[in-house]
Amino acid sequence: MTEAKAFDRVADDYDRMRGGMERGRQAAAQLAGDLVPGPVLEVGVGTGIVAAGLAELGHRVHGVDLSLPMLSRAAERLAGRVTAGDARALPFRDGTFDNLVFTHVLHLVGDMPRALAEAARVLRPGGRLLAVHGDPAADPDDLVAVLDRLAVLQPPRPDTPNGWTRPRPRRG
């Protein structure tokens, strides 16, 4: 839950710091071609920039997030279609969505196999899960150079192809 508190603190400035709606529209355009017809759930919706971009493209999108301050910004973009919740225990019935999107969030969930199992549970048979991996690209500057040098100190990220494990189906 520490990640949620960190996002709580930056909610007011998040869009400005991370590219705002333009970035959301770009991400949505990249995702849209891989979606199947039907409703979309964005897990870790944040301020709703990607979800709003998908909605602008004609998709029915719902968002879920742990951070209430971030979710309040998403609610401005997705009125009536946001829910507070955890990726590891999604507050939706089995088979609710045709598509589920994780955008730069899987490395934050703490228990990725559980989050993926939850994603599979709320997806309809034949549904599509899209996971955007990694950090958004940043233009080279002094801060990026420093962060690049510190990257060797970070633990391996679980949201890489080598970090993924197939979730076990939950029984009963």
In tens, the pLDDT along 66-98 reads 999 999 999 999 999 999 999 999 999 999 999
Q: Do the Cβ atoms of 129 and 100 come closer than 8 Å?
A: yes
Q: What pLDDT, on the 0 to 100 scale, is given for residue 76?
A: 95
Q: Find all residues with CB under 8 Å of 54, minimum gap 6, and list them.
A: 28, 31, 32, 35, 40, 42, 61, 101
Rounded to an integer, the average pLDDT of 130-136 is: 73
In this structure, what are the phi and psi dihedrals at residue 136, rounded to the nearest 5 degrees? -60, 145
Domain positions in the chain: 2-153
Place 20 in a pLDDT band, splitting at 50, 70 and 90: confident
pTM for this entry:
0.76
In this structure, what are the phi and psi dihedrals at residue 153, rounded to the nearest 5 degrees? -85, -15
Rounded to an integer, the average pLDDT of 15-43 is: 91
Indicate the CATH number of 2-153 among 3.40.50.880, 3.10.150.10, 3.40.50.150, 3.40.50.620. 3.40.50.150
